[in-house]
Amino acid sequence: MRRHICAGLMIAALILTFSGSAGTVAEESPASRVILSWTEASEATTQTFAWTANQSESTYVEYIAESVYTGGNTSCSKIYGTGTPTRVTSDVFYRYEATATGLSPNTEYRYRVVAGNIEGEWKKFTTAPQRSESFSFLYFGDIQVAANMAVELSAWSALTQTAYSNNPGAAFGLLGGDIVDSGLDSANWSTFLSAAEPVFSKIPLMPVNGNHESNHIGGKPLAYMDIFALPRNGPEGFAEEFYSFDYGSVHITAVNTHVYSGEQNLNAADYDAIKAWIKADIESSRATWKIVMLHHPVYAVASDGVSAKVLENWAPVFEDTGVDLVFEGHQHVYARSMPLYQGRVDYDKGIVYIMGVSGSKFYDTANESLMARVIYRESCYQVADVDGNSMSVSTYSANGALLDMVSLNARAREYVYVPGDMNDDNELTSDDLSLLIDSILGRDFSNPAADVNGDGAIDVRDAHSLLISLGGGR
Ligand SMILES: [Fe+2]
């Protein structure tokens, strides 16, 4: 699940050809629609950038720690973008992505994107602490435009800016699918990306696709995969449709429910491989909190064939692996379920399902029988506040008024851990030694794997023991 982080810089822009593309060299223009995300395993030491620029340009990101910035760009690190033509039906645009690695935890950086000779404006992001037990993040349900794209996405952009300005410490945002109305259409995507940029050029945005991103022939969310830069740790053949990442004490697994539409013509073996990946991914996590994000709701509030298959096939996996919370969408109401286990309310083993809607398309009816709260015709966003073994999820209106809240307690978990395997990837490497040293210097004693020599204390003797295990000391 976790991957090693490759040090060093990505080199040289890769320009791909695309059949039916505009073809000719475009006029030079600034990079635009910058969206942050994470593609590597460490939110504390990496940052991924994705942006739009002309096909012909050499385009790159310059970045530097704010504390050492003295003006100009001579001390900046520089990473070139890798380009992909978006698989949309008209006005193909190029998305570039690049990942900065080897960053310092809990550190503010400034960055800008340069396209050709045009320098973008400086922006800022902050890396995560090495280990976070107390933090907040945002969730946004369906945006999918109902009638007027410009008006509705302007409203959505304002909602995200309200969410962020009221929660300026939010670590990242989740986006639960049906982001656009047509995943085939370049204008849909460009308008969305412009609406998202004010907030998500500051904090990462981690989405999952819905049915409207998947309306390509064959049911793959092709443009979605081109546009977003996401972890590629999903099942083979389904990279970016399924992925997981960790932030501090939270493990988040994003899954593409639209595979149950049948459009990809998957066979039983495919579905088995997907289910096995979901199970292994969630089961292997030692996070305090296990969260799933998906589009079609597990417990639908209106009859839905895809939801029925998700309930039948994946809900037992979520229950068996100790999932605490599921963020979902698709049915255009806000709905928070009772804690549900095997279809019944269960306060010990139940999972809370929260369906969001952050756009302006609404439905007026819902089966409320398993729901603790349903709200109709209200664009809203969710704020998850994590504090150790407690988490609250609050729902706010577009103008920031509190609408609903639920408090959760973490499940008791018992794990077998490998001493020294700080990053839980089942290997002892220099990455683990680096993390262990950080823990010792930061007096962070929360990871039991840090007690390498098993003496009950976490100190420099553990680093020495790990160094010997790695063959680097005596
Ligand atoms: Fe949907």
Average pLDDT of adjacent 10-residue blocks, the chain of 474 residues = 36 33 58 96 93 92 96 91 93 95 96 95 94 92 92 97 97 98 95 97 98 93 97 97 95 98 97 98 94 98 97 98 98 98 97 97 95 98 96 98 97 80 86 91 81 89 93 68
DSSP state of 351: B
**CA 108 to ligand 1 center in whole angstroms:** 37
The CA 297 to ligand 1 mean position distance, Å, reads 9
**Alpha-carbon gap, residue 130 to 169, rounded angstroms:** 16
Spatial distance between the Cα atoms of 100 and 110, rounded to a whole number of angstroms: 12
Which CATH number is 32-126 given? 2.60.40.380
Is 261 within 8 Å of 211 (Cβ atoms)?
A: yes
**Ligand 1 centroid, distance to 147 Cα (angstroms):** 16
Predicted pLDDT of residue 72? 84
Cα of 145 to ligand 1 centre, how many Å? 11
In degrees, rounded to 5, the angle at the alpha carbon of residue 298 between the alpha carbons of residues 374 and 381 is: 45
How far does residue 177's CA lie from ligand 1's centre (Å)? 7
The H-assigned helical ranges of 50-205 are 149-166, 186-200
For residue 222, report the distance from its CA to the centre of ligand 1, in Å: 16
Determine the Cα–Cα distance for residues 40 and 448; give it in Å rounded to an integer: 23
Cβ atoms of residues 67 and 107 within 8 Å: yes
* CATH code of the domain occupying 417-474: 1.10.1330.10
pLDDT number for residue 416: 67
| 298-323 CB burial, b ≥16 within 10 A, e <16 | bbbbeebebbebbbeebbebbbebbb
Expressed in angstroms and rounded, the spacing between residue 141 Cα and the centre of ligand 1 is: 10
Give the integer Cα–Cα distance in Å for 275 and 383.
29
Domain range annotation of the chain: 32-126, 134-409, 417-474
Using CB atoms within 10 A of its CB, is residue 72 exposed (0-12), middle (13-18) or buried (19+)?
Answer: exposed
Distance in Å, CA 57 to ligand 1 centroid? 36
- Ligand 1 centroid vs 301 CA: distance in angstroms? 13
Predicted local distance difference test score (pLDDT) of residue 415: 66
Overall CATH class of domain 134-409: alpha beta
Tell me how far CA of residue 202 lies from CA of 123, 296, 414, in angstroms. 7, 28, 36
Instruction: Give the pTM.
Output: 0.86
Cα-to-centroid distance, 213 and ligand 1 (Å): 9
Residue corresponding to tokens 């593609």:
39
3-state secondary structure of 441: helix
Ligand 1 being an ion, which residues bring their Cβ within 5 A of it? 178, 210-211, 330
Per DSSP, what are the bridge partners of residue 239?
A: 242
Q: At what angle do helices 149-166 and 186-200 cross, to 10 degrees?
A: 20
